[in-house]
Structure 1
Amino acid sequence: MHGGPATVKGLLITGTVGVGKTTTARVIGEQLQKLGIPHAVIDLDELARGWPAPAEDPFNMELELTNLASMAKNYRAAGAMRVVVSGVVESRAAARRYEAAIAMPMNLCRLKTDLERVRARLTERHVPGPLRDWHLRRSGELDLVLDEV
């Protein structure tokens, strides 16, 4: 992150499923706390967790952006100088929408690691079944999408 504590900024950590976005965001939050910098850490997956998702928005991005805008506003009002967000961002246009939702300049950071490592994490994280299978398939698909972006 650039700038001193007086600079209000966002950081959006993206990458394929299972790469470590949420863990990295938490660690950054811990470091900001040690530095005494007021901040918030937000996991986008939780903001989109509503069912059923509209057919035209299967990942609930609109709900996610609405919730993010509300939360970021509340955190800024409470004094947050940094907002660290973790989640999947599949395009530059989507990145601009997330930046608009947090209403502050945002740096985008993509985490990348070997897909074999990602798939091992996903296998440990999810019980065998359709959800795990989906995540395993999605990890490679999403990694390719992010490479193109």
Structure 2
Amino acid sequence: MSAEGAGPAEADGMRALLVTGAVGVGKTTVADAIGDELEERGIPGAVLDLDWLRRSWPSPAGDRFNSRVELANLRAVCAVYRGTGARVLVAAGVFEEVGARADYEEAFGCPLTVVRLRAPRDLVRSRLRRRHERDPEALAWHLARFDELSAILEVARVEDAAVDAAEDPRVSARRVLAAARI
């Protein structure tokens, strides 16, 4: 898009970065580490966890994961962050269909890059067991959801790039930033 036809966020170089992947791969941890990297580089930004933007109940009929609530909240929060001078908006979250991309980009209010974070199944299952050791129902749901979501994302290919998670979140953050060309 030419600078004349670009929206304000695109013309001024503002970017959004969505770290996506199945449950337990480290999206939120890596998004936080990306925020630290950007701060050290002197790049104004903000980090969001999309799970928190959709956490409400009950879910409306036909919207199992509160996606409409998430998008409405994302739109509002990103407007505030853009108004405070954020240049890079980083989010951890999931959308499962390529068709949803335009909705997310509109909600961010600037061009969106999606990077999928991958981690070995055994590692993720171990993390989930530790995370939900006192809640067998939640553990069972998350273990099943990891497999379900991994399969969905493998077919959907919503990402612009994919990176393998490293043991150190800062290494993963640098990999994601490099993949997103930030």
Q: Which residue of 2 aligns with 1:101?
A: 107
Whether 1:31 aligns to 2:34 is: no
Q: Secondary structure at the match of 1:54?
A: coil
Structure 1 segments, 4+ long, off by >2 Å, are none
Whether 1:86 aligns to 2:92 is: yes
User: Alpha-carbon deviations, 1:29-73, whole Å to 9, x = none?
Assistant: 001101111101000000001011113111000000000000000
**Matched ranges for 1:133-148 at <5 A:** 133-148=140-155
Whether 1:54 aligns to 2:77 is: no
Match of 2:138 among 122, 131, 135: 131
**Within 2, Cα distance between the matches of 1:12 and 1:99?**
10
**Within 2, Cα distance between the matches of 1:130 and 1:58?**
18
For these two proteins, the number of residue pairs brought into alignment is 144
Over the matched positions of the two proteins, sequence identity in percent amounts to: 44
| Residue type of the alignment partner of 1:134 | W
RMSD, aligned CA = 0.9
Q: Which residue of 1 aligns with 2:51?
A: 45
**Within 1, Cα distance between the matches of 2:57 and 2:26?**
25
Whether 1:22 aligns to 2:28 is: yes
**Within 2, Cα distance between the matches of 1:141 and 1:55?**
21
Structure 2 residue runs of 5 or longer lacking an equivalent are 1-11, 157-182
**Within 2, Cα distance between the matches of 1:119 and 1:60?**
25
> Between Structure 1 and Structure 2, whose CA radius of gyration is higher?
2
Q: Which residue of 2 aligns with 1:3?
A: none
* RCO higher in structure (CA 8 A, sep ≥6): 1
**Within 1, Cα distance between the matches of 2:70 and 2:37?**
26
**Within 1, Cα distance between the matches of 2:153 and 2:58?**
26
Q: Which residue of 1 aligns with 2:118?
A: 112
User: Alpha-carbon deviations, 1:98-143, whole Å to 9, x = none?
Assistant: 1110010011100011111111111111123211110010000100
**Within 1, Cα distance between the matches of 2:75 and 2:123?**
33
Structure 1 residue runs of 5 or longer lacking an equivalent are 1-5
